[in-house]
Chains A and B, each alone.
Chain A
Amino acid sequence: MSDTILKFEHVTRKFGSFVALDDVSFDIKRQEIIGLVGPNGAGKTTTLKIIANLLKPHSGRILLKNSEGIFQEAHNVSQEFVEQGFLIDIPDFYNTNSWILLKHLAIIRHYPNHNIEHRVDQLLKFFDLYKWKYVKIKKFSKGMKQKLAFITAILNEPELIVLDEPQTGLDPESRIKIREYMKSFKERGKTVLISSHLLDEIREICDKIIIISKGKIIGFDTIDNLEMRFKTKQIRIDLYHPLKKDHEQEVLTRIEYGIRNLSGMISNGIEEETMLTYDSTDKSMTIYYDGSRENKRDIFKLLSEKFAEELEILEFYEPKRSQLEKLYAQTTGSTQIKSKELK
């Protein structure tokens, strides 16, 4: 069942004259894990805060579906059944121990009283915090606090979980645990909206991503579809010999021209779209295309037939690694990532 659980309708939020969110709209369906990516100051945390009712939008509305299947405005959501869990920003904690805090949070979220201790113990054990159950939280390390913050979000087994950079400051083992836990959300019918800068993790966990930049949504789709749309799919060609120095630029220009003339490879209007990069030291070439099989075939034909003399192709393949960074850079205009040649 994949009905809509959250509707974000034409939301605008300003801070003085600065527009943090500009007419943003998206829907999230049940059992989806949505990643929210964007550069710093794009509006990710603002979006999450508005869903969590920590900020009010200046226009638009946010609708959440309750257990009875009725949409309610976020600030009017009934407190009878708390079906959302939030981890916003980097929270600090009250001056108490984790057991008292989690018990209190569970009670105010109407988690059944007889199950609270069991649930708390279960989560603490899973995240290796069980022996710190009665220790004051101020003695926790940064990573432990982050884990505890994650626990507070999922404590009452909510239907919708909103997480803002849940893996900041965590060791690799804890990251794996959180990743596994988030993957299990989907199997249990939960919906997750997660904001993160760790694109590899986003790629692995999320079904879809929302790319946000300067308060606007650039794209909201599965990663594959976005890569196709913004032509950030790669083909890597390893050469036996590097190109001859005096002909290098001419050959590359001709190859790029040939690629651009293939069907469906017309520029998508994105500035400074790079279709071809060449590394003489590595003796390799990278071609960005839309990911279609036909174009892949045509590119191979183009290179192997028309450029047989200039290129001695050793390998022609599509790398398995994430190309999300390229997509991110291309859509958000992040010059730092764009200038870095991905190997």
Chain B
Amino acid sequence: MHLKTKNYCNSWHRRKSRPFISKSWLSIMVMFFIMIIINPQGKGYPYGGETQYSYANQRGAQFFQIDICDLSEWNDTIGDSFSPEDWFDGAPNKTGNVAKRLYQRGFYIPIRTDDLFRRMFFRWFDIDYWTLHTLGYNSSYFDTRYEHWFWIWELDYSQWEFTSEQLDHEPDENYYRYVILDPLDYQYLLTNYDDFRQVFNNDPDVQALNYSLPQVSGDEFLFYLVLEDLIVASPVNGFLRDLIDTLDCQNVTVEGNTMELRFHGNKDYLLELKFNENGLIDRNIFKTAQGITFFKITSWYPMDFAPLILIISIVGLIALIGLQVYKWRKKVKFFKNN
């Protein structure tokens, strides 16, 4: 056989039998996936949290408006110790005032107990984290003691406080918030907190500094969460039920997507929170025991107009297409007749 032909035949056979992906590329891809799973830094956090709940990561603006603000009834029912300004930033003390929140970004990440303690209990009870650090209660301590990983959504958002004037385009503050997907995690948190609280309060060094952590019941824990505009996972109804069951809340009921908390200030009163399908609080309603509303905040989302805008666009497009089809039919009729 001629040399050229022989070489051609050989190369043809090579082309025919060549695999789709070469072995070297395949091995690189496999190693890459293994690295992702194992994590080269050696921390070895679990791949994904296992829960039936999810978070939709709704982005965009949420506008709040004070529909009812009866301050005299508020003072009568709840008392002086807790005012609307303690709950909401800015000036939530007048009917018609507006506020805004812009949900900008969400990350689905695993975090440890340490992060949540700092974000919640230490901040609520004014415990200086760096002091804790020097006392030996640093992240290694918490990571070793509480090995559980929490898979959460970290939400970045901007906030515009309540005001009677038109809202600026620039926000007042930028915040971040955690959304815990598994109701059971709230129980872990509370249990871990209680455990740490006992260790912490009995630490002589801590006592010397006059620090202490209070006991927190399930109801109280839920109240603190609600005070910080709790965001829940979906399906909302199931999540809320599991949450109050897990935390063993005595003064909370859930109906549909609405959670009702019972409090006692000067008198008994109710706080009704309605959540939307994505887990954000739509409505805050304070009612007397007799059911009279004395404070109400409602909200709306500009993104709700998206279907309307889409419909208008589609109708406009159909109209344009219809016009073109009409012209085209005129031509087709002309061609048929000629």
Contacts and interface: CB of A to CB of B under 8 A. Distances in A.
The answer to whether A and B belong to the same complex is yes
Contacts of B334: 133-134
Interface string A157-192: 000000000000000000000000000000000000
Interface string B6-45: 0000000000000000000000000000000000000000
B74 to A, nearest CB: 73
A134 B338 CA distance: 11
B130 interface: no
A130 interface: yes
A308 to B, nearest CB: 69
A114 interface: no
A131 interface: yes
Contacts of B133: none
B305 interface: no
A38 B338 CA distance: 42
Nearest to A133: B334
Interface in A121-144: 130-131, 133-134
A133 B334 CA distance: 9
Contacts of A130: 338
Interface in B280-338: 331, 334-335, 338
Contacts of B338: 130-131
Nearest to A134: B331
A167 to B, nearest CB: 26
Contacts of A131: 335, 338
A131 B334 CA distance: 8
Among A130, A131, A133, A134: residue with most chain B CB under 10 A: A134
| Interface of chain B, main secondary structure | helix
Nearest to B332: A134
Nearest to A132: B338
Contacts, number: 7
A131 B335 CA distance: 7
A130 B337 CA distance: 11
A131 B338 CA distance: 6
A190 B338 CA distance: 32
B87 to A, nearest CB: 67
Contacts of A133: 334
Nearest to B331: A134
Contacts of B335: 131, 134
Contacts of B331: 134
Interface string A96-130: 00000000000000000000000000000000001
A133 B332 CA distance: 12
A96 to B, nearest CB: 13
B69 to A, nearest CB: 65
B128 to A, nearest CB: 76
B314 to A, nearest CB: 29
Nearest to A125: B338
B149 to A, nearest CB: 65
B120 to A, nearest CB: 69
A89 B311 CA distance: 54
Interface in B91-119: none
Nearest to A135: B335
A200 B335 CA distance: 38
B338 to A, nearest CB: 4
Interface in A279-310: none
A133 B338 CA distance: 10
A182 B335 CA distance: 30
A134 B335 CA distance: 9
A36 to B, nearest CB: 37
A129 to B, nearest CB: 11
A130 B334 CA distance: 10
Interface string B208-244: 0000000000000000000000000000000000000
B241 to A, nearest CB: 67
A38 B175 CA distance: 89
B132 to A, nearest CB: 77
A118 to B, nearest CB: 15
7 contacts: A130-B338, A131-B335, A131-B338, A133-B334, A134-B331, A134-B334, A134-B335
Interface of B: 331, 334-335, 338
The 7 closest A-B pairs by CB, nearest first: A131-B338, A134-B331, A130-B338, A134-B334, A133-B334, A131-B335, A134-B335
